[in-house]
Amino acid sequence: MELCLTNGHVVDSKNGIDEALDIRVKDGVIAEIGKNLPLHDGEREIDCTGFTVIPGICDMHIHMRDPGQPEKEDIITAGEAAAAGGVTAVACMPNTIPAVDCPENVRYIIEKARQAKTKVYPIGSITKGLKGEEFSDFDSLKEAGCVAVSDDGRPVKSAAMMKQAIKKAALSHLMIISHCEDLEIINGGIMNDGAVSNIIGVKGMPRSSENYITAREILLAQEQGLPVHIAHVSTKESVDIIRLAKQKGVKVTCETAPHYFTLTDDKLFMRDADYRMNPPLREQADVDAITEAVCDGTIDCIVTDHAPHTAKEKAEFAKALNGVVGLETSLAATVTMLLNTGKITRVQLVELMCVNPRKILGINGGSLSVGSLADITVFSETEKWTVEPEKLHSKSKNTCFKGMTLSGKVKYTLLNGNIVYEDKKGE
């Protein structure tokens, strides 16, 4: 298929592009980029007037629930949601059933993902069965296709084991990703420990649970001179710890999710479990600190921590499972809260959502260079839309952005030069 994306505002930080250009796509790759490209016979024109054109988004932190929990999500439906959100690459966490702790489970994901509308990069588990007792074989996970290791969903409890894991991951050329929560400090809490939890009489999750493990991982990495990646940062103290570590030259990178720079724990007054996730929504001071850290580069990338759960699992506030879906709202929330408010530039958005996640994981993509695979996201910065859970492409509808009107509407998503999502009015 030959396509020509015309009249769009093209942003490609790797190549220093931030201007109106046309892009020709042929045989799955970007064949030409320039001004006023002539249309070829039989070529389909996609008029991008008024739209922004960027490299396909990479979300390096999602949960696909496949294998094991297809009632929540599977690789194919997660791909549908990703395409609708302009996401052309995802890295999926290993807390499936069974866990991604052996080559066979890695190969299952890779094989099934061949039919998905997004590229899928598996993350293997640090420990077998996520039990924190025995290491998985990092070399065999890497050989099978993993790009990172994590026990996401829970931290590695033992500092000694985590120290060894950081070294083992580096030797296997895998990024190590830490879920920073001390479960003993949390001790059954289900939301941020603060004024709101006290008022509604719900056991809270102290912020020290995140801050302590964040500091632990950074110290362990610093001592060995090795890299570590901190998942879903949510507290102002963790931001301060990471910022100082970066200033000292520690090889630490980190991520956050849109709900952490958009929403506060005031949402929990409604006792609606769709606003419960790990780590939890925090306070306005945390939202402000996360926003500042995204803008100043302390936080390297924006992810979703897409965590599908069924309506039944979310029905009872006190007993519900934590997690929210986010693949279809991440770009819009970022455009609404950061880009359209002037807090970040288009170039920064591309760095945060397209370039840095791939750089951290060591995977290809993130540019619109001639000859590169045509993974492209086209979106309107100004078009408003209301998040209606029943219209989401994910099997699960547990979004914390439900009912919100956001700016930033994905118009087209191209994967390997094929249109895998097209916004059609009335759908």
Mean pLDDT value across residues 106-122: 98
Q: Supply the pLDDT for residue 424.
A: 87
User: Cβ distance 232 to 214 under 8 Å?
Assistant: no
Q: Supply the pLDDT for residue 426.
A: 46
Write the pLDDT tens digit of every residue in 19-76: 999 999 999 999 999 999 999 999 999 999 999 999 999 999 999 999 999 999 999 9
Residue 425 has pLDDT above 80, yes or no: no
Write the pLDDT tens digit of every residue in 300-323: 999 999 999 999 999 999 999 999
The CATH code for residues 56-361 is 3.20.20.140
Q: Are strands 87-92 and 175-178 parallel, antiparallel or unpaired?
A: unpaired
pLDDT level of residue 1 (50, 70, 90 thresholds): confident
Residue 427 has pLDDT above 60, yes or no: no
E-strand ranges in 282-337 read: 301-302
Q: Which two tokens stand for residue 351?
A: 């760095």
Q: Which residues pair with 17 in a beta bridge?
A: 12
> How many whole angstroms separate alpha carbon 249 and alpha carbon 199?
42
Write the pLDDT tens digit of every residue in 48-59: 999 999 999 999
Q: Which residues pair with 418 in a beta bridge?
A: 415
Q: Supply the pLDDT for residue 154.
A: 87
Question: ∠ at Cα 98 (97, 101), nearest 5°?
Answer: 135
Structural domain boundaries in the chain: 56-361
Q: What is the mean pLDDT of the chain?
A: 97
pLDDT level of residue 153 (50, 70, 90 thresholds): confident
Percent of the chain with pLDDT strictly greater than 70: 100
Q: Which residue has the tokens 């760095």?
A: 351
Write the pLDDT tens digit of every residue in 271-280: 999 999 999 9
User: Cβ distance 398 to 71 under 8 Å?
Assistant: no
Q: Which two tokens stand for residue 393?
A: 């492409």
Mean pLDDT value across residues 116-124: 98
Q: Which two tokens stand for residue 327?
A: 């693949």
The separation between the first and the last C-alpha atoms of the chain, rounded to the nearest angstrom, is 25
Q: Could you count the other beta carbons within 10 Å of the beta carbon of residue 426?
A: 3
- What residues are annotated to the active site? 305
Residue 145 has pLDDT above 50, yes or no: yes
